Amino acid sequence: MAIEFFNDGTHRCICFNDLAGEGEVQANQFLIVHGAKGMLLDPGGTKLFSRMIVELAMFMPPQRLEYILLSHQDPDVGAGLNGYLLITDATICFPSIWLRFIPAFCAKSLAADRVLSVPDEGGRLDLQGAEIMLLPAHFLHSSGNLQVYDPISKTLFSGDLGASLLPPEDPYPTVSDFDSHVQYMEGFHLRYMPSSRVCREWAAMVRNLDIERIAPQHGAMFEGREMVQQFIEWVAGLQCGADRLAEAGIYRVPE
């Protein structure tokens, strides 16, 4: 069931967290609605498309989507793009270094003149008068990766950073105990996040933002300032990716 986690009458944020079918990776799709327009974040793959449209229509007509953002090039992020291009006039926001992959996602003719190439330094969008920030989050985990900060709801949509693989019998929507939640994030972050240096730089950047919650693309959200703080500090201290592979001496020709 969709969770509306912010609503001030004009501005709403909604999480769809249970649309993945059996055997598919659980993923959260996020919708930001401001006035009559909307922005959809990481809409997901082709199998999810029809379910997503039905759920989305409960909050706004899909034709009123102004932007669709793909945080990076992974299939769980945007493999269903073709369908959205067919039924909406939304502008597709995509990291500039992955732009040449767009024809692999969808018909080139459909995407013509509808893709906003987001430069490495990020940028700001106008969603019917609401400012939405596109933040650089490169290498976390993709080499060209964006995150989204919504200053009205004070939500940082962090993509795969903060992703958790929760036990299927207990998929809680928000983290209530950070320490016991770490076990569900650790394996993914140690392998998929590239190095402690990038994690520290990200932490230094987001400490400048006023964040009420962090909403990752998989698993539970970090709700409230204390939880946000704990997560940022955890990321800042991560030894991951290349740090660990180098230690393990993995670069050996197999026997």
Residues forming contacts to Fe ion in the complex (CB under 5 A) are 74, 76, 160, 217
Give 12 or 184: the residue with its C-beta nearer to Fe ion.
Answer: 184
Smallest gap from residue 71 Cβ to Fe ion (A): 8
Give 74 or 223: the residue with its C-beta nearer to Fe ion.
Answer: 74
CA 17 distance to own-chain centroid: 12
Amino acid type, 250: I
Continuous segment of H or E residues that includes residue 3: strand 3-7
Tell me how far apart the alpha carbons of residues 149 and 156 are, in angstroms, rounded to a whole number. 4
Q: How many CB atoms lie within 10 A of CB 237?
A: 11
Tell me how far apart the alpha carbons of residues 107 and 216 are, in angstroms, rounded to a whole number. 29
Tell me how far apart the alpha carbons of residues 250 and 19 are, in angstroms, rounded to a whole number. 37
Give 38 or 216: the residue with its C-beta nearer to Fe ion.
Answer: 216
Q: Which residue is nearest to Fe ion (CB)?
A: 74
Smallest gap from residue 76 Cβ to Fe ion (A): 5
Smallest gap from residue 36 Cβ to Fe ion (A): 30
Give 110 or 166: the residue with its C-beta nearer to Fe ion.
Answer: 166
Smallest gap from residue 217 Cβ to Fe ion (A): 5
**Selection from 69, 22, 24 nearest residue 43 by Cα:** 69
Continuous segment of H or E residues that includes residue 78: helix 75-78
Give 55 or 160: the residue with its C-beta nearer to Fe ion.
Answer: 160
Smallest gap from residue 141 Cβ to Fe ion (A): 6
Tell me how far apart the alpha carbons of residues 5 and 156 are, in angstroms, rounded to a whole number. 13
